[in-house]
Amino acid sequence: MDQKTDRELIIELQRGELQALGELYDRHQQMVFRTALGITGDAESAADLLQDTFLRLNRFCSRVDPDRPIQPWLYRVTANLAYTYVKRRSRGFQVLREMGEWLAREFKPGPQAIVEHDEICSVIKEALATLPISQRIVVVLYYVNDLTLQEISEIIEVPVGTVKSRLHYGRLKLKKELGVYSDLIPEVRLGYSA
């Protein structure tokens, strides 16, 4: 049996067929979780936001256009929920705990490599935590989810120029915060250099 398309699943969900929500969840959960984790820096909170995102998809499925890709809608909802979460807990913000894996290169981990990897992840988490939430969202969508500037613009509903600016200044701040590890931040694919 052929796998159903997102369009078919959304139409089924709009008809009240809840198994379609489960299939959409299975298909897109990693993307949503990774986005929430990148923004919040907390695996437990990211898991909660993952659930909230799909609960909203169920609740507001009638507003979803089945003829358009579902990913931008999921990114937007996830980013908005994560933004609200971070703003609520901005006082006493904890160091990001789970970020950094997206920068890790493949290696066969020995004890030394594991220690180095953990140290680098910790430094990256701390650096990301210093970014204003508007820059953090753009950096996560760009580097973690590998979205284009246009896609990010549509998701967070700001002009492409604003996305470029937030990405540029977020990257500059990350390079400054990372110090000796600043070479971990890849060059932005839009012509800026830092």
Q: Decide if 37 is inside a domain.
A: yes
* Inter-CA distances, 162 with 37, 117, 158, Å: 23, 33, 6
- Residue 95's contacts (CB-CB under 8 Å, 6 or more residues apart) are 41, 122, 125, 126, 129
Inside any domain, residue 155: yes
Q: Which domain holds residue 165?
A: 6-183
Q: What does the pLDDT read at residue 166?
A: 92
Helix (H) or strand (E) holding 181: none
Residue 120 has a pLDDT of 67
Q: CA separation (Å) from 57 to 2, 36, 77, 140?
A: 24, 16, 9, 22
**What's the confidence (pLDDT) of residue 64?**
93
Would 191 be classed as within a structural domain? no
**Distance, CA of 87 to chain centre:** 16
CATH number at residue 172: 1.10.1740.10
Report if residue 83 sits inside a domain: yes
Q: Which residues of 76-108 are buried (b: 16+ CB within 10 A; e: fewer)?
A: ebbbbbbbebbeeeeeeeeebbbbbeebeeeee
How many domains does one find in the chain?
Answer: 1
The pLDDT, as a whole number, for residue 181 is: 58
pLDDT at 146: 80
Q: Is 190 within the bounds of a domain?
A: no
Does 189 map to a domain?
no
The answer to whether residue 139 sits within a structural domain is: yes
Cα dist. 170→18, 95, 124, 148, 166 in Å? 40, 17, 13, 16, 6
Specify the pLDDT at position 5.
95
Q: Cα 80 to chain center, whole Å?
A: 11
Instruction: Return the exposure string of 129-150: e unless at least 16 CB atoms fall within 10 Å of the residue's CB, then b.
Output: bebebbbbbbbbbbbbbebebe
As averages over each run of 10 residues, the pLDDT of the chain (194 residues) reads: 89 94 95 90 90 94 94 92 79 39 47 60 76 89 84 90 92 80 53 36
pTM above 0.95, yes or no: no
Q: What's the rounded Cα separation, in Å, for the pair 22 and 26?
A: 6
